[in-house]
Amino acid sequence: LLLLPLLAAWGPRVPGGLRAPQRRWPVPYRRFDYRPKTDPYCQARYTFCPTGSAIPVMKEEDVIEVYRLQAPVWEFKYGDLLGHLKIMHDAVGFRSSLTGKNYTMEWYELFQLGNCTFPHLRPGIDAPFWCNQGAACFYEGIDDAHWKENGTLVLVTTISGTMFNEMAKWVKYDNETGIYYETWTVQASPDKQSTVWFDSYECSKFILRTYQKLADLGAVFKKIQTNYTSIILFSGEPIYLGNETSIFGPLGNKTLAAAIRDFYNPFKPHQTVREFFVDLVRIIDRVILNHQFYLFYNLEYWFLPMKFPYLKIIYEEVPLPVGSKESFGV
């Protein structure tokens, strides 16, 4: 009995003594009725979708080739550097047989990955400020060199113009309702059958949804291996903390609010190498030594009691989907 207080004190400490609620996992990604306007404070280093265009209406009798596109993240700037770590970006390409035109469709962050993953701590504003939206981008052409040199450009299926047009309607719905980028997958352990607490919502998940939609419309995919990148945090059962109002509002939990702000502070952009390494030590202390991580998901805050191995980047196979209908004569 004397050991019980010691065992209770062992592990991560949560401000306010909150406990994990009973709920089903994973927490479903929340969809919204509309896309809010972006705050002028949120600026991207690289313009989102600079050559984007509307998705064209294809003729029903058209035969359209569908290509799997994959390249290292920021390949245009760093070449294959992130490819060695298997940090890959995914897209899908189309080629019309009637017109000979090529198109690319992808989904990525409006304000770059860092802004979607961690907030800004702005003076005079108690709550962390998030510059986080993701969206689909469609444009004419496929940059063969970009996808082939360090990545993948491979035919995966062929569809009709009718199927393409139905897919375009779905893309519009998906893009208008799924608006926030979620970097992290959070699960209980590295075991494949372990509980997933939260699933990510990023470029590869958009491509997987697109493939599934095409399969549901009748597309028959080739039998080839397809791998995707996931960044996984490992945690015990997450603890719900509240939303921005309940934590940072006038009647909020000031102790918890201070703890969340303090946690995010080391993740800010750095001006010098020394600042970076000082904050890196702070991050290791919080996440690994004290087993703490604060997750912002569906506009709500969660406490993650972190577990070994804490974080892992995986590049795992996800098979191409099997259709549920006959292919429209293609």
Tell me which of 89, 131, 137, 291 is the catalytic residue.
89
Tell me which of 116, 137, 203, 291 is the catalytic residue.
203
User: Is 131 marked active-site?
Assistant: no
Quote the tokens at residue 161.
């113009």
Encode the chain in three state secondary structure. Answer: CCHHHHHHHCCCCCHHHCCCCCCCCCECCCCCCCCCCCCCCCCCCCCCCCCCCCCCCCCCCCEEEEEEEEEECCHHHHCCCHHHHCCEEEEEEEEECCCCCEEEEEEEECCHHHHHHCCECCCCCCCCECCCCEEEEEEECCCHHHHHHCCEEEEEEEEEHHHHHHHHHHHHHHHHHCCCCECCEEECCCCCCCCEEECCECHHHHHHHHHHHHHHHCCCCCCCCCEEEEEEEEECCCEEEEEHHHHHCCCCCHHHHHHHHHHHHHHCCCCCHHHHHHHHHHHHHHHHHCCEEEEEECCEEEEEEEEEEEEEEEEEECCCCCCCCCCCCC
Quote the tokens at residue 234.
């490992």
User: Is 137 marked active-site?
Assistant: no
Q: Which residues are catalytic?
A: 89, 203
